[in-house]
């Protein structure tokens, strides 16, 4: 290999003008955001001009003015608060059910073989297919919405928790057992901290899925 050549093992983000912050993550320069926002609004303005219909495609300025007006409307704020309460309630239910199931399925092969066929089957069902059943089960009101939010967020939490538990090296388990650690000590000092990053990823996906399930 020539002395001027070098092996590229990772993406060379320095050529894009990206810099690292204190945590080591790359920061996108402000001019990139400005170009992106300008491009989006330019396409939006052009589409609104070509459509020539405020009903189908209003202009960006009119949309921004309507947004500011809606934010000041007490009724809109009340409905937003109700929606946020429903999303958070469903998210908490998904968290309470999904994390323990994920720990159990990730740690126990027997539990994985028993529970995985059921969870894999249920998560293939489209969320809208549950709407009639939830209305029958819970009636009209918050019940169906909270159920759908919890249901949509349950499986990302379960799957990511399983992945977090199974990605922990067996050497940590063996080292802990060799020093006399019991099951609860292994869970508290190895399983939970080792799988926490994946659990947080599942929580983030579940929260976004919950927002998309609000109907």
164 and 198 Cβ atoms separated by less than 8 Å: yes
Task: Output the pLDDT for position 22.
Answer: 63
76 or 205, greater pLDDT: 205
31 or 144, greater pLDDT: 144
Confidence of residue 6 (pLDDT cuts 50, 70, 90): very low
Task: Output the pLDDT for position 17.
Answer: 54
For residues 69-89, give the mean pLDDT.
Answer: 87
pLDDT at 21 over 70: no
Phi, psi for 41 (deg, rounded to 5): -70, -30
pLDDT at 175 over 80: yes
Question: In whole angstroms, how large is the CA radius of gyration of the chain?
Answer: 24
Percentage of the chain with pLDDT > 70? 87
Per DSSP, helices labelled H in the chain are: 30-51, 60-71, 74-107, 109-122, 131-138, 142-166, 170-178, 183-186, 192-212
186 and 107 housed in the same domain: yes
126: in domain: yes
Task: Out of 15-29, 49-63, 141-155, pick the least confident.
Answer: 15-29
pLDDT at 178 over 70: yes
Task: Output the pLDDT for position 204.
Answer: 92
Phi, psi for 156 (deg, rounded to 5): -60, -35
Residue 17 CB partners (closer than 8 Å, separation 6+): 29
4: in domain: no
37: in domain: yes
pLDDT at 95 over 90: yes
42 and 112 housed in the same domain: no
7: in domain: no
Confidence of residue 24 (pLDDT cuts 50, 70, 90): low
Residue 65's alpha-carbon distances to 60, 71, 194, in angstroms, are: 9, 10, 47
For residues 60 and 44, give the distance between their C-alpha atoms in angstroms, rounded to a whole number: 7
pTM over 0.85: no
113 and 191 housed in the same domain: yes
The residue from 39, 71, 103 where one domain ends is: 71
103 and 19 housed in the same domain: no
11 or 144, greater pLDDT: 144
60 and 79 housed in the same domain: no
Task: Output the pLDDT for position 5.
Answer: 42
Residue 178's alpha-carbon distances to 175, 182, 189, 195, 203, in angstroms, are: 5, 10, 14, 21, 33
Structural domain harbouring 23: 13-71
Mean pLDDT of the chain: 83
The residue from 25, 47, 71 where one domain ends is: 71
114 and 34 housed in the same domain: no
81 and 63 housed in the same domain: no
Number of domains in the chain: 2
pLDDT digits (tens, 9 = 90+) for 50-70: 888 888 888 888 888 888 888
67 and 79 housed in the same domain: no
100 and 19 housed in the same domain: no
């Amino acid at each position: 290999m020539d002395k001027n050549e070098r092996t590229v093992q990772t993406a060379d983000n320095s050529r894009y003008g990206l810099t690292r912050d204190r945590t080591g993550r790359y920061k996108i320069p402000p001019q990139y955001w400005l170009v992106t926002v300008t491009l989006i609004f330019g396409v939006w303005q052009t589409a609104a001009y070509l459509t020539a219909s405020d009903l189908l495609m209003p202009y960006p300025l009119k949309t921004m003015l309507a947004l500011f007006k809606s934010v000041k409307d007490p009724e809109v704020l009340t409905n937003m608060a109700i929606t946020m309460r429903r999303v958070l309630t469903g998210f908490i239910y998904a968290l309470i059910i999904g994390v323990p199931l994920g720990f159990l399925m990730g740690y126990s092969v027997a539990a994985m073989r028993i529970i995985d066929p059921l969870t894999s089957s249920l998560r293939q069902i489209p969320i809208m297919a549950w709407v009639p059943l939830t209305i029958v089960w819970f009636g009209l009101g918050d019940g169906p919405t909270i159920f759908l939010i919890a249901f949509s967020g349950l499986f990302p939490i379960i799957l990511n928790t399983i992945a977090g538990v199974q990605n922990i090296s067996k050497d940590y388990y063996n080292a802990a057992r060799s020093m006399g650690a019991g099951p609860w000590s292994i869970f508290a000092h190895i399983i939970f901290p080792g799988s926490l990053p994946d659990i947080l990823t599942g929580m983030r996906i579940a929260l976004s899925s919950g927002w998309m399930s609000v109907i």
